[in-house]
Amino acid sequence: KPALTANAAGHLLLGGVDTVELAQTYGTPLVVYDVAAIRQQIQAFKESLQANGLRYQVSYASKAFATVAMYQLVTQTGIHTDVVSGGELYTALQAGLPAERISFHGNNKSRAELEQAVDAQVGVIILDNFYEIELLHTVLLEKNATCWVMLRLTPGITPHTHQYIQTGQVDSKFGFDVDSGQADQAVQQVLAIPQMHLIGIHAHIGSQIFGVQGFELLANKLVDIAADWRDRFDYVPEVLNLGGGFGIRYTDVDQPLSPATFIDHIAAAFKKRVALRGLALPEVWLEPGRSIVGPAGYNLYTVGSRKDIPELTSYVAVDGGMGDNIRPALYQADYQAVCANHLNAPLVAPVHLAGKYCESGDILIDQAHLPAVAPGDLVAVLATGAYGYSMASNYNRNPRPAVVFVENGQAKCVVARESYADLTRLDQSYL
């Protein structure tokens, strides 16, 4: 069970702050992040990598939650970050994240995005395809610049997770295929380009993964590729980047492994395989996104209407939904909720926790185990911190929620609630 705490009034506390007060101050729907939980998770990754004696880098995959405040927090902790668009890169730079700590990913970076990355002198650009090798080469020649690159490989490893969030299987849209020889061709091309410094290879096998096996296979595979390239091309990648994908608990059925468990297995696999292949232990990079911010996030909603269909089912509707959390509708993702103003009240028969959007599929939780709730009650959906706000939309012209950071009894609004004026800001009159 997630360890949730209440004050004497039975109100859920986050970061020592009363969520009922948060709702009164900032309104709902509201996205709340427990900053200490984010810090702890980052620390857990760093400590486990260090404890295994690895040279390492942790790079936060910021697509999970990308705002100025989050990049500032990342900057404070000293880790790196991944960006996947010019917009994420821009936001990270705005936040003051040093460019050399930024890795630029994506399967179709535009020329403008590559120029932006080269101008900013980002730490590394992860090359995804042959078109991009050529495009980046052109940009570097034009700018008389050089840059660090990695090759993204498709290792042919399929973790058991939702099909939309698998990325390492052979027919993926991402990366150079290993088995067909594309990766060999790519490394030869890049090594022949003096403007590019190839620091290593990257692979990402998927997301919300609960087992160590995919990562062990991947570690072995990357070491084998490194040994193979040493023998054939006289090139040894310094960095082996295993991507992200570490699963988290959304509901009680999820049994996530700790960063330490994943990392102990990954480190053991690396050590064994490099010994076997006669290589030095490489620098290991990981790119956790979901596991850094997911468990730390909570979406607060106010209960409104209710529909009871006698002897069949009940809907309890809240003032947000698929616009602030698309994951249930898009991936059939499951969540748990609590009643934040009566945290310890007895539970009643489960209800459908419905959103306010004009879609039958806008159900946040199919079977929500809540106390008897009435209009005005506050519901907190748990573990919404990854791919919630970052995938939010203005569907039905609902303004996106505010985002608040809480820590040590203090709350700080880090993204203002959108206004109706924001919604029409870019609209232009046709008359």
Residues that bind ligand LLP (CB under 6 A): 61, 64, 82, 105, 165, 167, 204, 207-208, 243-246, 287-291, 327, 331, 386-387
Question: Shortest distance, CB of residue 358 to ligand LLP, whole angstroms?
Answer: 22
Cβ neighbours for 248, distance < 8 A, ≥ 6 positions apart: 208, 254, 256, 290, 291, 294, 295, 383, 386
User: Does the active-site annotation cover 358?
Assistant: yes
Query: Which residue lies nearer to ligand LLP by CB, 26 or 60?
Result: 60
In whole angstroms, the minimum distance from the beta carbon of 371 to ligand LLP comes to: 28
Which is nearest to 299 in space by CA: 57, 29, 16, 21?
A: 29
Give min distance, CB of 327 to ligand LLP, in A. Answer: 5
Choose between 87 and 409: whose C-beta lies nearer to ligand LLP.
Answer: 87
Residue number with CB closer to ligand LLP (19 or 291) = 291
CB of 410 to ligand LLP, least distance (A): 27
306 is in an annotated binding site: no
How many angstroms separate the CA atoms of 212 and 141, rounded? 42
| Residue for token pair 């000293």 | 78
Is 327 annotated in some ligand binding site?
Answer: yes
Fill in the amino acid letter for 360. S
User: Has 256 been labeled as part of a binding site?
Assistant: no
- The answer to whether 288 is annotated as binding is yes
Q: Is 115 annotated as a binding residue?
A: no
The strand pair at 196-202 and 147-154 is best described as parallel
Q: How many CB atoms lie within 10 A of CB 347?
A: 12
My answer on whether omega of the bond before 29 falls inside 30° of 0, hence cis, is yes
Q: Is 346 exposed, middle or buried (0-12, 13-18, 19+ CB in 10 A)?
A: exposed
Taking the least distance from each CB to ligand LLP, the nearer of 91 and 207 is 207
CA 260, CA 280: separation in Å to the nearest integer?
Answer: 23
Helix (H) or strand (E) holding 281: none
Q: Given the residues 147, 339, 358, 413, select the one marked as catalytic.
A: 358
User: Helix or strand or coil: residue 352?
Assistant: strand
Residues annotated in a binding site for pyridoxal 5'-phosphate: 245, 287-290, 387
Residues of each annotated binding site: 245, 287-290, 327, 331, 359, 387
- Annotated binding residues for substrate, written as ranges, equal 290, 327, 331, 359, 387
What residues are annotated to the active site? 358
